[in-house]
Amino acid sequence: MTEFTPFLSASGGALIGAAAVLLMALHGRIAGMTGILSGIIPPLASDWAWRAAFLAGAIAAPVVIGLVSGEPVSFHSPMPVTALIGGGLVVGVGVTLGGGCTSGHGVCGLARLSPRSIVATLTFMSATVLTVFVIRHVLGGV
Amino acid sequence: MQRVILAGMVGLVFGAGITISGMINPAKVLNFFDVAGTWDPSLAFVMGAALLVTAIGYRLVLKRPAPLLDETFHLPRNRAIDGPLVAGSALFGIGWGITGFCPGGAIPALGLGSPEALIFVAAMVGGIALTRAARNHVQTRTRNA
């Protein structure tokens, strides 16, 4: 079980939205983690520097939040290493073929009412629900 | 330089949102998708609030002729609803459902020093690199054919 946190989750969501708006207002870019990350994987994009800085900021965030709040960040990864490797590979292939993930399609694309992003988001949300259902209630996994 | 520093600060805001919202936590993400079991609806509030802010903000920002630090807005030009979009998104969903990690959640989780996040991100980077290499290979062959 994890605690239902509507207020914190909405506040965090608003911050994610604020970051998306800022990146568009300043850099003219979609705040999609797939697109930003892909640019620093060889062959490097010519504008890799701002991408690397964005990623560094995102990685620093939980450290800063932990220091400011004085409480450890809730985190638990229940899956075994083989699942993480297999799942990670599948995610990498999927987001590259699909041209985006939760942030790019699910937030930025939906906000622009992009038909591509609407199809992508409905597809990955359904696939995720189905996968979790099969693992937890059919196969009886964690 | 200004572009790079400001991108770092925007990344910090993004990562703070992922951390505070609980998207950083695979257990919480998996419970959001487990509607038939230990359902935790929190992440609907993440998506809802993020969408609301982005939709309103984009409406204001995209009225301007250009962003502050670049000459044009870089909006996606591909409008095709095709096989790769649907198959890729389905694969992403399967991987997300297996691990509880999506790219936007896993990258900030690296900051927690989580070995699980590191393993996931390494495998994901491998998947991205492989897919790009395969696509370039196919495109080159098609061009030369």
Domain boundaries, chain B: 2-144
| pLDDT tens-digit map of A76-95 | 999 999 999 999 999 999 99
| Element of type H or E holding A124 | helix A115-133
Average pLDDT, integer, range B90-104: 98
Both structure tokens of B105: 């959640």
Task: Provide the residue type at A138 as one letter.
Answer: V
CB A31 within 8 A of CB A108: yes
User: A54, B97 in Cβ contact below 8 A?
Assistant: no
Whether residue A97 is contained in a domain is answered as yes
Q: What is the pLDDT of residues A9-28, one digit of tens each?
A: 999 999 999 999 999 999 99
CA distance A101 to A106: 7
| Opening angle at CA A89, ends A84 and A94, nearest 5 | 125
Query: In the structure encoding, which two tokens stand for residue A19, read together?
Result: 């970051």
Q: Is A80 on the interface with B (CB under 8 A)?
A: no
- Closest by CA to B14, choosing from A105, A86, B6, is B6
ipTM topping 0.90: yes
What is A13-36 written as a DSSP string? HHHHHHHHHHHHHHH-----HHHH
pLDDT greater than 90 at residue A47: yes
**B36: which chain A residues are within 8 Å (Cβ-Cβ)?**
133, 136-137
Q: How far is CA B127 from CA A89, A118, B89, B132, B141, in A?
A: 5, 24, 14, 9, 21
Q: Could you give the number of structural domains in chain A?
A: 1
The letter for the amino acid at B67 is P
Q: Please state, rounded to an integer, the average pLDDT across all residues of chain A.
A: 96
**How close is the nearest chain A Cα to the Cα of B142, in Å?**
18
Q: Give the pLDDT band (50/70/90) at residue B142.
A: confident
| A32 within some domain | no
Size of interface A-B (CB pairs under 8 A): 486
Q: State whether A11 and B20 contact (CB < 8 Å).
A: yes
Q: How far is B137 from chain A (nearest CA, A)?
A: 14
* A86 in any annotated domain: yes
pLDDT in tens, A96-122: 999 999 999 999 999 999 999 999 999
Q: Per residue in B106-123, is it b (16+ CB within 10 Å) or e — as a string? A: bbbbbbbebebbebbbeb
Determine what percent of chain A falls in helix, strand and coil, rounding each to the nearest 5.
Answer: 70, 0, 30
Please compute the mean of the pLDDT values over residues A55-75 and round it to a whole number: 96
Domain encompassing residue A125:
79-142
pLDDT of residue B110: 98
- pLDDT at residue B144 in the model: 78
* Distance to chain B for A68, nearest Cα, Å: 11
- What's the 3-state SS for chain B? CHHHHHHHHHHHHHHHHHHHHCCCCHHHHHHHHCCCCCCCCHHHHHHHHHHHHHHHHHHHHCCCCCCCCCCCCCCCCCCCCCHHHHHHHHHHHHHHHHHCCCHHHHHHHHHHCCHHHHHHHHHHHHHHHHHHHHHHHHHHHHHHC
Q: Which residue in B has a C-alpha nearest to residue A23's C-alpha?
A: B10
* A5 in any annotated domain: no
Q: What is the mean pLDDT of residues B13-24?
A: 98
pLDDT in tens, B75-84: 998 889 999 9
Q: Are the beta carbons of A15 and B17 separated by less than 8 Å? A: yes
Instruction: Note whether residue A11 is domain-resident.
Output: no
Contacting residues of A for B72, CB less than 8 Å apart: 28
Residue B116 has its nearest CB partner, among A6, A15, A84, at A84
Residue A142 has pLDDT above 70, yes or no: no
**From B50, B116, B131, residue closest to A92, measured CB to CB:** B131
**Of A9, A24, A92, Cβ closest to residue B46:** A9
**Omega prior to A43 cis, within 30 of 0:** yes
Cβ within 8 Å, pair A127-B36 = no
The answer to whether residue A70 is domain-embedded is: no
Q: Which residues of A touch B28 (CB under 8 A)?
A: 2, 74
Best residue in A5, A16, A114, A137 to probe B by mutation, most B CBs within 10 Å? A16
Residue A39 touches chain B, beta carbons under 8 Å:
no
